[in-house]
A and B are shown apart, each in its own frame.
Chain A
Amino acid sequence: SQQGEEDPQALSIQEGENATMNCSYKTSINNLQWYRQNSGRGLVHLILIRSNEREKHSGRLRVTLDTSKKSSSLLITASRAADTASYFCATPASGGSYIPTFGRGTSLIVHP
């Protein structure tokens, strides 16, 4: 079943601006992952953040996790046109599972 839900569903910004996407989930998790999907392509893994971590960075990406609110955010700083894609958060299908279940995603468009 689908657990994570991204917000907003769509985001349109200008190159150079920051993009923030949020993910809310329902049950306790041991990790949360963010993926990117370019149109009609497979998924690219971006970041995995564990339940005992609050923030993680990778290049221009910053992910936060608030387990008390059951939410996570993905921040892309200084966005580029090449960042245009759909972004999904994924949470384990069940307690000890490693199988990710995906939300509907946020469609990000970065205008040059």
Chain B
Amino acid sequence: GAVVSQHPSWVICKSGTSVKIECRSLDFQATTMFWYRQFPKQSLMLMATSNEGSKATYEQGVEKDKFLINHASLTLSTLTVTSAHPEDSSFYICSASPTTDQETQYFGPGTRLLVL
């Protein structure tokens, strides 16, 4: 089956530093990838839609300068949390839609970010 990986799986950083999270589709090409964040016992909230070769589309209330998204290839999207603060601590999950089946999404295992 289709596999999406995320790296790192968890990260602890100091306040003010930037953290990059990678999302890769391992065995399929994904024109579109999505980034979500999830707080404990809460729903997944869509942050942005990442399209290969173009700018990401951010959901209302999500700061694009804070959460930089790059989708440089059909198998890789990155989310960079710039100048991270403790309130950015969360579980970040990406998903990818195969180019040949945009109705389906495959989710990565998530990245847990803790900002001290």
Interface residues of A (CB under 8 A from B): 2, 31, 35, 40-45, 48, 88, 93, 98-105, 107
A104 touches B42 (CB 8 A): yes
Complex partner residue of B109 from A42, A98, A102, CB under 8 angstroms = A42
Can you report 8 A-B residue pairs in the complex whose CB atoms are below 8 A from each other? A2-B43, A40-B112, A42-B109, A42-B110, A43-B107, A48-B103, A48-B104, A98-B103
Interface residues of B (CB under 8 A from A): 4, 6, 34, 41-46, 49, 91, 93, 95, 97, 102-110, 112
A99 touches B103 (CB 8 A): no
A45 touches B43 (CB 8 A): no
Count of A-B contacts judged by CB separation below 8 Å: 47
* Residues of chain A within 8 A of B102, CB atoms compared: 98
Contacts known (A40-B110, A41-B110, A43-B93); A100 close to B43, Cβ less than 8 A: no
Contacts known (A40-B91, A99-B46, A99-B49); A107 close to B109, Cβ less than 8 A: no
A88 touches B105 (CB 8 A): no
A30-B93 Cα distance, complex, nearest whole Å: 24
Using CB atoms, name the residue of chain B closest to A41. B109
A104-B6 Cα distance, complex, nearest whole Å: 23
A15-B37 Cα distance, complex, nearest whole Å: 32
Contacts known (A88-B44, A93-B46, A101-B46); A44 close to B107, Cβ less than 8 A: yes
A100 touches B110 (CB 8 A): no
